[in-house]
Amino acid sequence: MNRHLQRLSATALTLLLLLASIAYVVVPTPAQAEPAPTGPYRIGTGFTPPANQVPDEFEVLSAGFWPNELTWNKDTEEISWGTLVYDWDEIEFIFQLMSAQPANDYLVGTIEHVLTRWYKWQVIPKNAAAWAGMSAGARAKKWRGWLNNYASNTSNAYQGTGFEILVGEKQGYKAQGFEHDTKVSGDNKVRPDWGLRTGAENYSHLVEAKSGNWDIDEIRSRYELAVETGATKLDVYFLKPPTQKGITGLEELAAEYPGIESRFFVYPATPKRVVNPNTYKDPPDESGSGAAPPSGPGPTSPPGSLVAGGQNGADSPSTDAFSNSPDSPEEAAEAQEMTEQLARDNGYASPEDAEMTTDQLGGVDFSTLELRYVSDTYDGGVGAGVDYAYSVDAAEGVETAYGGRESAQLAADAFFTWLALPTDTFWVNLNPDEPDRIIDKEFGTTDAGRVLLEADLGMKKIVADFIHPDTETGAEYWERLRGETKCISMRQWIVPKTAVVKDGGDELFILDAPLEVKMEGEYLESKGVGGTAGCSGQATADTEFNEDVYADMILPKVEKAVNTAPEFADLRRVYASRVAAEWYRLRSETKTTAYSDIIGSGDVSAWPARKDWDPKDVFDAYVESYENGEFNVERRTRQGDYIVTTTYIYGGVTFFDVPSRSVDEGRFAAEHPNLGTAVGESMLSPTVEDGAAEVWLGGRSTERPLWDPLPMPASPLGNPFFWALSTLPVAAWLAVGVFLWRRPARPVQAPYAGVTGPVTR
């Protein structure tokens, strides 16, 4: 009886699992949540943003040309546009015809308008003087920068107008009789985006649409306009979701104007470029590639975005901040001047009204920019790729930060360079005895290679500063040296020190990435300034003693300089990218990542050096200095003409290995309690970690554009049917095992027992 019960229970268990599976098939699966409908949603206290919302689309007109189709001829200084070529005389002629136009000017965005503005820029005396002093290459660069500035301003204006029209039409403002973009009055040239007019200078309801970055003062100006015109309602629409801090600021602002009923919305939408029929070429790819598409870095690639190999760059504050970062104060002033001029040309009172504001990040020092966070979000077709964030030191009192574009491009290019090339190529070597072993050939085509080689040269030069006899340290150093010539000859090179990171499995925070300077005594065959090779004329004991003095007094200073001095900022920047890339490389060994195909490919053609350079030039500069004593210190050791050069330094930089130590969760949480939140929010807006002096600028690459409506395949892990079916065989096996285990042993039975028929073997 007991045996039958066991059999029965095992069978029942198996059947139960089977029935559960069948029941799941029969019972209809609950439908997955439908994407939220398109349209704006309220933000602020008490409002929850919808999940999985498909953005709307709005049309954006384009200028009559693309910046990359207006080319500058270095030799003739002519501007080509398709088959048309404009020399200076022709540009001047077009300028003179301007007054014959209906509005005494050409339409903003036309080729004629560009050329006349270029003419106007050229004839300004200070610009003409600067232009006269430029080389052909500098002039070409100047033209490119000027044109990009013009194009970005007009593009901003077109996008702003497109978003305003979307808001007005989809939200019914237009249908209700709101006026779009009209001046308040003849005297008041301010133009609200949408306004329901109640009098000559009065409105009852104002609407503001912000398609780009914004600051609280811009919103405040709309409140002021509402007060001024008697409006009691103000709606503000944002294309990009503000951060929580931004929302709080808006709510505080609204509280300052209790007489105005205000509402804040986010309207997710994506611009769709309408190609101007006058353009010659296809629109440039603006999907983003700071690290350059296969065709190479282009003027339209958002700098600093870790985007390559088919990935898409999501809109991010980092690319905006870098793109809008001028290279110098002069460039910033010039850009502002052009923005104001274009706004006036378009008939607006200010660039804000014209939606031409280009927000430039202030309060930071871009020279300290480093890639300090990277996250692998790629999980096999679910649409993500890489999240990343740069840290920048805060700099109080800096209204506009300069050099962000260049720094970010270097960091991003270096990241991909470190991924693409094998690690044994990450070395540079400045040794007068080895002119044929300066740098790996492929590595020598990249900016990362340039930075390493220049850092090697810079390290040798900075030693001269430390040991200069006129300095306190230098005097003491020379005093302690032994030997008649006080000679020292050694190899000194830079290697990574153990980096402190927080490796969270799929994400990496780089908390500290120090470098170390190593030295060892060696003797060269080449003759230096003193005319002897190495320290051949000096007793070995003296030379070794001198090396110890150097290691004790000078080496720590060199190492400190490498880790903190501005001259080595680029080296630290590319090294931080090296740490991030090494983590990404190792992670890609265990799973497929967005850039698995790039790793170890050896192909760095997509990330060529953005500055013309030749490793041989750096080597020649070093050899010249070595032989002529430019940075090898000369010291008069005797009266008379006897001069001895006593320091020979050579070495290199090697980034073969990246030792790292991951802090544990508890320590990370204790020492950086807000870092994770700050980095997460940096994907939306520049953020500061509470209590820290660093600003985080985040970005994201995605396998598909974020608005891609293609549904992702659902993971079966949330499917009970999957669990029932896949566990059924194992459950059945276990049930049979239990049954057999508990079954009483049967008596051994002879074969063929009870057989009555023919028997065969």
Partner 1 sequence: MSAAVPFGPPPPQRPRGVFAAAYLLAGSGAFWLAAAIATLFAIPQYERHHSDLAQDPSAGVGVTLLLILFATGAFAAAGTAVLLAVFDAKGRPAARVMTWILGGLAVGVALALLLLDPFTATAWHRGLMIGASVLTLVSTSVVIVLLGSRSSGGYFRGVRWARMAAARAAYAARYRPVPQYPQAPPGWTVHNPPPAPPVNLPQPFAPRPPGPPHRPPSGPPPTESGWGRPG
Interface contacts to partner 1, rule CB under 8 A? 310, 379-381, 590-592, 597, 703-704, 712-717, 719, 722, 725-730, 732-733, 736-737, 740, 748-755, 758-761
Please give the full DSSP string across 178-198, using - where no structure is assigned. PEES--S-SS-----SEEEE-
Smallest gap from Cβ 569 to partner 1, in A, equals 37
Dihedral sign for Cα atoms in the order 49, 53, 56, 60: positive
The Cβ-side half-sphere exposure at 11, using a 13 Å CA radius, reads 6
In terms of CB distance, is 349 or 706 closer to partner 1?
A: 706
Smallest gap from Cβ 583 to partner 1, in A, equals 17
Smallest gap from Cβ 750 to partner 1, in A, equals 3
Smallest gap from Cβ 11 to partner 1, in A, equals 17
Smallest gap from Cβ 757 to partner 1, in A, equals 9
In terms of CB distance, is 267 or 739 closer to partner 1?
A: 739
Alpha-carbon dihedral angle through residues 234, 239, 244, 246, given to the nearest 10 degrees: -60
Contacts of 725 (CB under 8 A, 6+ apart): 21
Smallest gap from Cβ 756 to partner 1, in A, equals 9
In terms of CB distance, is 361 or 724 closer to partner 1?
A: 724
* Alpha carbons 546 and 478: distance in angstroms, whole number: 9
- Both tokens assigned to 43: 């933000």
In terms of CB distance, is 531 or 711 closer to partner 1?
A: 711
- Both tokens assigned to 760: 């065969």
Q: Cα 729 from chain centroid?
A: 49
* DSSP reduced 3-state for 224: helix
* Alpha carbons 55 and 49: distance in angstroms, whole number: 13
In terms of CB distance, is 551 or 725 closer to partner 1?
A: 725
- In terms of C-beta distances under 8 Å and separation of at least 24 residues, what long-range contacts does 625-630 make, across chains too? 625/460, 625/461, 626/432, 626/526, 626/528, 626/529, 626/650, 627/432, 627/526, 627/527, 627/528, 627/529, 628/529, 629/528, 629/529
In terms of CB distance, is 518 or 704 closer to partner 1?
A: 704
In terms of CB distance, is 14 or 278 closer to partner 1?
A: 14
* Alpha carbons 362 and 356: distance in angstroms, whole number: 18
In terms of CB distance, is 1 or 730 closer to partner 1?
A: 730
Smallest gap from Cβ 71 to partner 1, in A, equals 30
- Both tokens assigned to 186: 């003849």
Q: Cα 706 from chain centroid?
A: 17
In terms of CB distance, is 415 or 595 closer to partner 1?
A: 595
Smallest gap from Cβ 10 to partner 1, in A, equals 14
Q: Tell me the angle at which helices 244-256 and 216-229 cross, rounded to the nearest 10 degrees.
A: 20
In terms of CB distance, is 397 or 713 closer to partner 1?
A: 713
- Both tokens assigned to 391: 């840290």
**Which amino acid type is present at position 598?**
I
Residue 277: burial class (beta carbons within 10 Å; 0-12, 13-18, 19+): exposed
Contacts of 235 (CB under 8 A, 6+ apart): 171, 205, 206, 207, 208, 262, 263, 264, 265
Q: Tell me the angle at which helices 472-480 and 447-466 cross, rounded to the nearest 10 degrees.
A: 70
Smallest gap from Cβ 758 to partner 1, in A, equals 7
* Alpha carbons 365 and 398: distance in angstroms, whole number: 8
Quickly list H helices, 230-357: 244-256, 317-323, 329-345
In terms of CB distance, is 129 or 730 closer to partner 1?
A: 730
Smallest gap from Cβ 291 to partner 1, in A, equals 18
**Which amino acid type is present at position 24?**
Y
Smallest gap from Cβ 653 to partner 1, in A, equals 34
Residue 744: burial class (beta carbons within 10 Å; 0-12, 13-18, 19+): exposed
In terms of CB distance, is 125 or 754 closer to partner 1?
A: 754
Smallest gap from Cβ 740 to partner 1, in A, equals 7
In terms of CB distance, is 22 or 736 closer to partner 1?
A: 736
Smallest gap from Cβ 129 to partner 1, in A, equals 51
